[in-house]
Chain A
């Protein structure tokens, strides 16, 4: 789901940088208000976890690959704003150092994976787990559903971004300038592969981690410990 350089036109890239600028500003303000020195290591672990989990490419035999983002787990543990910062750090390093995701597409990729994904996941988890105790089974299920849905929402948005390119940018002879696949292909493919395979990986990762933490470190799941 890392959009490379050249797949989105300059206008699309610019718009998403412009959208992300205030989001990054608000995220740093909110985290600044609430971050204790003690919580910095947890934020670093969040960025590291998201970075490395995205390297675990899962194959669809004979087809494409995809991966989890780990962003929903980071959002549940640290709150969505801190997760936004942690995932942004991971995505920027992936793009600059490893060419995974484009430099021109950092705004777009961060919008999908560092903003929409953790926020959607966090609020779905919070809504489903509601006021159940920290140790309840419902929280494990809530984490799984949040992981599944949030990854698919992000995948759908990525498909939309790819898919609108042929509408926006064409040469005089009708050839695509950037991503050549329109909405009729990009959207169902991106959504389909994540609904069928990769969404489940995010769901399982998130649910298992919550189950483990319920047993071994419930204080991490408690409200207030989080960086709101």
Chain B
């Protein structure tokens, strides 16, 4: 049957993405800066023990020295090198932010998807739980949970997951509610697909964009909240070089500004990086809400 069709019959089939290079090219400049900053911190986490830095826990000089060629960001009240401590601090903050965001995404998205897809009682119970959780100010809830569980970064992480999962539950529920009305979902049902297949194959793959964007942006926020908890003594315990507890030490030595400056700039750079990158990803994947 000879037929001309005004479509792409003659073109070679496109691959899913024409390489990650294509994705990178379409990112805005700010998002590229953010991605590079984030990459820097990830590399720091992986390699910092190989760097020629002073021991972050050892007294390497006189106490409260201002920045100099030997100690780039000076020394703290115990004579430890602030620059080395800042770099080592990434080992705490970055992986914890990963774990917290990952757990919150998995728990929140799963519950949100179930709530949105099955509706009825599932929906009511899960979403009321979400409402209760978000009715507390995040920092207060995290403080309360961390205080109950006791200090330590593991407990602080649990507290942060409890604060964060409802956001993802709401995001995913809204997406599932929207996508399940698509005609292709009805077509899949008419084709004999079961409920879980419909959810997993035909709905969820269309729902991940807002979650991905939000997770990127929240990464910085988690770093910030972790530092906040450590600042008030509910996170990392003293000798470990955690950014929040370092700022807390610096806050008592107000005229030795450099003690808080290092970790402060580190936190700032992570939060900025993730928010730049998140904005860029939203421009790419979710234009309507940009």
Tell me if chain B binds chain A: no
* Chain B residues at the A interface, C-beta cutoff of 8 Å: none
* Chain A residues at the B interface, C-beta cutoff of 8 Å: none
